[in-house]
Homo-oligomer: A and B are copies of this chain.
């Protein structure tokens, strides 16, 4: 790619960003499988998208492939990792240690993929006492302080809907830069530069349900 001054990484569409992250992780798997070279159509097949879509995504980060011969897996991974700064360890915490929260707290893949869970937080002290894990857990009122002290960048939220927004505010007060919210309500922040992603299990199921209806049977008349 010929560098154009107006063209910065900030212009990369979020869907492209998501796919680039998937490619980054896929490259690690490919290396473990002993595969050293891939084409855009190989990657496309694995990710269920079109090959030109993949090429366009990679193209946002500049040239890395070889015309006629595809991509070297290691080079491609390094290329994406460098540009999107995915190589560095990220410090995170989990808030809300119910079933979902504890499942995330001890998910081994987090560590192997560069996410270090520094702490867990739970507002119920009774509940807190029943949790046995190698990761340190604290009552929620200590959250803002500990987040600041430990330099935690990302908060993973798994609290009830009613607590979600105030918990998010506390995390942001402690200095987190991003929140991945699994609580069943949309949270937001007006503060500049805070990244929030809302993932609601029920809503994901609802989307699947409606798409089943809409692609299957005839739609109801309006």
State the CA gap A204–B196 with chains docked (Å): 10
Contact at B203–A22, with CB atoms within 8 Å?
Answer: yes
Q: A17-B207, A219-B10 are contacts. A212–B25 as well, Cβ < 8 Å?
A: no
Contact at A153–B212, with CB atoms within 8 Å?
Answer: yes
Contact at B220–A204, with CB atoms within 8 Å?
Answer: no
Give residues of chain A (182-203) contacting chain B, Cβ–Cβ below 8 Å.
184, 186, 188, 193, 195, 197, 199-203
| Chain B hits for A202, CB < 8 A | 25, 109-110, 113, 115
State the CA gap A10–B214 with chains docked (Å): 6
Residue A121 lies at the interface, judged by CB distance under 8 Å to chain B: no
Q: A85-B220, A184-B109 are contacts. A208–B178 as well, Cβ < 8 Å?
A: yes
Contact at A215–B153, with CB atoms within 8 Å?
Answer: no
Q: A3-B222, A207-B21, A209-B154 are contacts. A99–B107 as well, Cβ < 8 Å?
A: yes
Shortest 5 CB-CB contacts between residues of A and residues of B: A99-B103, A21-B206, A9-B219, A178-B208, A48-B188
The residues of A with any CB-CB pair to B shorter than 8 Å are 1, 3, 8-10, 12, 14, 17-18, 20-22, 24-25, 29, 46-48, 61-62, 82-86, 90, 92, 98-100, 102-104, 106-107, 109-110, 113, 115, 153-154, 156, 161, 177-180, 184, 186, 188, 193, 195, 197, 199-216, 219-220, 222
Q: A9-B220, A46-B186, A186-B48 are contacts. A206–B100 as well, Cβ < 8 Å?
A: no
